[in-house]
């Protein structure tokens, strides 16, 4: 199992940060970075159209590369010369969202070109991006996950309680619906299938506090950040408009989760188990 660095171990963490900064100083200007970003997926098209420029990942990644002194260029995968241009860089930094960027396809291209890149490899990316495959992996690893079914046919069975309907692929809540009434299920299935066919995940709705565990691979192991809680005040759930910052001022907060210690320990342990099970890196 991957060694874990606790966020509370300040001495060890400080040493890791010093090593990273020393590496950045030694490496400044010695390699070129292809920052891959563009509207190839519906998710990225929505990001570009709806998000304030300061919230776009390309803005944050460009700023970070500038700070460490790494020469870079933004490469748009929608442009005809993308692959030829990509082969001319020392390392790639994927900044895409959703299909083609996070699902192993870009990672496979980079492996074929022998271009090193940041983030997980083909298999981990492909399974993590596919909600149905990831659910199956979680069950095989004994990681708790809400009950679910796949909708492949003309009608899904109503389980008698609210459900979340999700496209099989993609993120940012695009095509996702919270369904409380069986009369609304068919419309939600159609919306999810249109977002990314084939296959729709119908998952039991579990009310509660959404919690995110950030994991970062360092030389000495994986740093598990304190779990963060997302609270939404003006929507039924953390939907696409809320996530993308469209007219959500004062309605969304993200703070350290104030859950009981056993719950925080459990959710972090499950996140780390899934990291290992998927074979994530970066």
Q: Which of the four pLDDT bands, split at 50, 70 and 90, describes residue 137?
A: very high
Question: Cα dihedral sign for 176, 182, 183, 185?
Answer: positive
**Quick one: average pLDDT of 49-74?**
89
Determine the pLDDT at residue 252. Answer: 76
Per-residue pLDDT at 155 exceeds 80: no
Which strands, in side-by-side order, build the sheet including 200-204? 148-151, 200-204, 163-167, 177-179
Q: Average per-residue pLDDT in the chain?
A: 89
Tell how strand 163-167 and strand 33-36 pair up: unpaired
Determine the pLDDT at residue 95. Answer: 92
Determine the pLDDT at residue 232. Answer: 81
Q: Which of the four pLDDT bands, split at 50, 70 and 90, describes residue 236?
A: confident
Q: Which residues of 125-155 are buried (b: 16+ CB within 10 A; e: fewer)?
A: bbbbbbbbebbebbeeeebebeebeebeeee
Q: Using one digit for the tens of pLDDT, what is the confidence trace for 159-195? A: 889 999 999 988 767 888 999 999 999 999 988 887 6
**Quick one: average pLDDT of 55-77?**
92
**Quick one: average pLDDT of 234-261?**
74
Q: Using one digit for the tens of pLDDT, what is the confidence trace for 241-252? A: 666 665 555 577
Determine the pLDDT at residue 153. Answer: 63
């Amino acid at each position: 199992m991957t060694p874990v660095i606790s966020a509370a171990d300040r001495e060890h963490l400080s040493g890791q940060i010093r090593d990273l900064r020393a590496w950045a100083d030694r490496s400044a200007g010695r390699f070129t970075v292809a920052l891959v970003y563009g509207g190839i997926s519906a998710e990225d098209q929505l990001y570009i159209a709806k998000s304030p420029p300061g919230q776009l990942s390309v803005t944050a990644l460009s700023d970070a590369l500038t700070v460490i002194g790494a020469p870079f260029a933004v490469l748009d995968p929608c442009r005809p010369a993308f692959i030829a241009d990509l082969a001319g860089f020392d390392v790639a930094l994927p900044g895409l969202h959703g299909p083609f960027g996070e699902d192993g396809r870009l990672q496979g291209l980079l492996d074929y070109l022998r271009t090193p890149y940041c983030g997980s490899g083909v298999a981990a990316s492909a399974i993590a991006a596919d909600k149905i495959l990831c659910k199956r992996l979680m069950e095989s690893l004994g990681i708790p996950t809400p009950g679910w079914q796949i909708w492949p046919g003309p009608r899904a069975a109503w389980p008698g309680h609210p459900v979340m309907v999700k496209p099989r692929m993609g993120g940012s809540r695009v095509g996702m619906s919270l369904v409380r009434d069986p009369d609304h299920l068919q419309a939600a299935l159609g919306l999810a299938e249109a977002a990314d066919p084939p296959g729709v995940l119908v998952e039991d709705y579990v009310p509660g506090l959404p919690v995110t565990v950030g994991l970062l691979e360092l030389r000495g192991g994986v740093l598990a950040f304190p779990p963060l809680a997302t609270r939404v005040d003006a929507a039924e759930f953390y939907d696409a408009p809320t996530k993308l910052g469209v007219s959500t001022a004062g309605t969304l907060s993200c703070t350290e989760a104030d859950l009981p210690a056993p719950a925080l320990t459990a959710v972090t342990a499950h996140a780390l188990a899934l990291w290992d099970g998927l074979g994530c890196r970066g």
